[in-house]
Amino acid sequence: MDKSPPFPDYHDYDRRERPVTAMAKDFPPDYRTGPHQHPSGQLVYALYGVVVAHTEMGRWVVPPTRALWMPPSVRHELRMVGAVRMRTAYIHAEASRQLPPHCSVMAISPLLRELILAAIDIQGPYDEDSRNGRVMRLLLDELRQLPTLPLRLPRPAEPRLQAVCEAIVAAPDDKTTAQGWAHRLGVDAKTVHRLFVRETGMTFGQWRQQARLLAALERLAEGAKILDVALELGYASPSAFSTMFKRQFGVAPSAFFDQ
């Protein structure tokens, strides 16, 4: 595996005073950047491959046609699922104030995709009223109006709940109920449900479903068959898995990476 620094030249981009700078970087399968942060906001987009981002607030899975927005100074680590062709836009802290104040996954419109690619070619200083300046302003305008998507798995701070969540992520096909986890923790089921809602904003069932769906995205990105993924994640049949997947993401798993 490549042992070079995660972004050998990212300091040349994330500390510039211009509102937007962009860079291209390709990574081998299973590459991990190590924890780091940027003074600028960062838009992580992959032309190919899937990126998994970890922060103190949770885990995000970012497939092609999606991008992860991270505000300035968010400490994070990126993991590549398969070979990844990453295209990153750094948004100066001042310009970032008009974007979401928290990490979020966004749909990438065809226009924004082309703007990101165009921004990568703009390396030198540019005037605000020039063609390059207008490209960067349009990129920011497009970012501000994009919808966010449910590709986040919140990370609880409560130690007992952390143990439950880590076990679910490690074995997403585990069918232990909230009552079963309550028994293991020595509390009642109502306490488990209350902790999940308080710590993650989701019920126990919603969080476990989200963990399974995000695990499915990673496996599908690796080329696994839908039948195998459905069974690995504890679904009774591929159709049951596909129904749940489409309900959450709006398309069937077979079509997700072809959008």
> pLDDT tens, position by position, for the chain (259 residues)?
444 444 446 666 767 778 899 999 999 999 999 999 999 999 999 998 889 999 988 899 888 878 999 999 999 999 998 899 999 999 999 999 989 888 988 888 899 999 999 999 998 788 888 999 999 999 999 998 887 777 788 989 999 999 999 999 999 888 899 999 999 999 999 999 999 999 999 999 999 999 998 898 888 878 889 999 998 888 888 999 999 888 887 788 888 766 5
Query: What pTM does this model have?
Result: 0.77
pLDDT at 258: 64
**Per-domain boundaries in the chain:** 10-149, 156-256
Asked if 126 and 136 touch (Cβ cutoff 8 Å), the reply is yes
Topology match between the domains 10-149 and 156-256 = no
Asked if 86 and 51 touch (Cβ cutoff 8 Å), the reply is yes
Q: Which CATH superfamily is domain 10-149 in?
A: Regulatory protein AraC (2.60.120.280)
- Residues across the chain: 259
Q: What's the CATH number for 156-256?
A: 1.10.10.60
Which one, of 246, 248, 238, lies nearest residue 208 by Cα?
A: 248
pLDDT at 183: 94
pLDDT at 51: 93
pLDDT at 11: 66
Residues whose CB falls within 8 Å of the CB of residue 191, separated by 6 or more in sequence, listed in order: 182, 185
What is the C-alpha to C-alpha distance for residues 43 and 148, in angstroms, rounded to an integer? 13
